[in-house]
Amino acid sequence: MEEIEKFKEEILKEYERLSLDSEFNFACHPGVACYNQCCADINIFLTPYDIIRLKNALGMTSQEFLSEHTVSPFDKNLKYPVILLKMNEDEKKTCPFVGEKGCGVYENRPWACRMYPLGMASPKEGSAELDDDFYFLLEEGFCKGHKENKTLTVAKWLEDQGINEYNKMGYYFKELTLHKFFQEGENLSPKKIEMFFLACYNLDSFRDFVFKSSFFDKFDVEETTKKAIEKDDIELLKFGYSWLRFALFGEETIKVKKEALEAKQKQLDAKEAMKANAESVAKERRRKGKK
Ligand code: SF4
Ligand code: SF4
């Protein structure tokens, strides 16, 4: 992941920053000599929204999709878990979704596949504002699309590729991943990493956790929200982001029930009392030992 950070730094330094009005030359269609060649041996990071779109398009649960089509690299430098699309184990390491006619999940292809040949970055760490983002042009040597005679603006490309919807959902995700907690060098505990993974990536299991545990005994959730998150993945994902901001960073993004707070306080008081008792017993033993 350090390599990714370095790569990002290089991009920010060396690539020309493009605005929405900037023009570039590009077209990709079955007639280009390199058609489908880019759909192999690449690292495609999947966002939570990518996973929703793909698992629903494939008729899979989030757990099935994660098991069959993704890998989650372990790296001690990672601040939070990331998910990569798993390539086939053939010689070319082709994407499992590519076929002779192109992308088999085209309508629901991931953000990264939609964006190419554009890259997107935020000018400063900690910035989660959509308007702060800027773009740059990636030119892979094998890609003949840059030689096609078609000029378009960044805004037109984003519109044609259906990116804006993905970016809107990406905004909520960036509120988590660019949170000052991470910018200040804090790390999540293993339990909190699991919570992050569950609410962001394994959405169907998160739904089970919310509806089949004592979740609603602890949190005050309106009936309309309960109805919305029971069926709607997007609403559940947004709810999950709010819950994570509460659980990971202590923000007041979700309301805790009074009874749950009181029970927690009782638990803490009991713990304190036990600690004080143990200290007093130890002190008495030391005193007797000295005699
Ligand atoms: S998801 Fe589709 S566009 Fe993306 S690499 Fe796979 S086949 Fe290509
Ligand atoms: S290499 Fe470029 S032009 Fe060729 S299929 Fe991929 S994106 Fe299209």
Are residue 33 and residue 50 in the same domain, yes or no?
A: yes
Mean pLDDT for the chain overall: 90
More confident: 88 or 262: 88
- Name the pLDDT band for 77 (thresholds 50, 70, 90): confident
Domain count, the chain: 2
Examine the fold and report which residue of 181, 203, 225 is the final residue of a domain before the chain moves on. Answer: 181
Burial of 104 from C-beta contacts in 10 A (0-12 / 13-18 / 19+): middle
Q: How far is CA 217 from CA 194, 227, 243, 253, 266, in A?
A: 21, 16, 15, 17, 16
User: Do residue 224 and residue 200 come from a single domain?
Assistant: yes
Measured from the CA of 36, which atom of ligand 2 is nearest? Answer: 5
Pair 78, 172 in one domain: yes
pLDDT digits (tens, 9 = 90+) for 218-267: 999 999 999 999 999 999 999 999 999 999 999 999 999 988 888 877 88
Question: What percent of the chain is modeled with pLDDT above 70?
Answer: 91
Residue 127 sits in the same domain as residue 226: no
Does residue 112 line the site of ligand 1, with CB under 6 A? no
The pLDDT value recorded for residue 12 is 64
User: What is this structure's pTM?
Assistant: 0.86
Q: 238 and 144, same structural domain? A: no
- Are residues 220 and 145 part of one domain? no
The answer to whether residue 279 sits within a structural domain is no
For residues 225 and 152, membership in a common domain is answered with: no
Which of ligand 1's atoms lies nearest the C-alpha of 95? 6
Residues paired with 18 in a beta bridge: 135
Last residue of a domain, which of 181, 210, 235?
181
pLDDT single digits (tens) 129-167: 555 678 999 998 899 999 999 999 999 999 999 999 999
Average pLDDT (209-213) is 97
Q: How many A from CA of 28 to the centre of ligand 1?
A: 13
Atom of ligand 1 nearest to the CA of 112: 4
Residues 6 and 149 in one domain: yes
Same-domain pairing of 160 and 233: no
Q: Rounded CA gap, 221 and 257, in Å?
A: 9
Q: What is the mean pLDDT of residues 268-281?
A: 84
Ligand minimally distant from the alpha carbon of residue 144:
2
* Residue 267 belongs to some domain of the structure: no
The answer to whether residue 216 sits within a structural domain is: yes
Q: Which domain holds residue 234?
A: 188-256
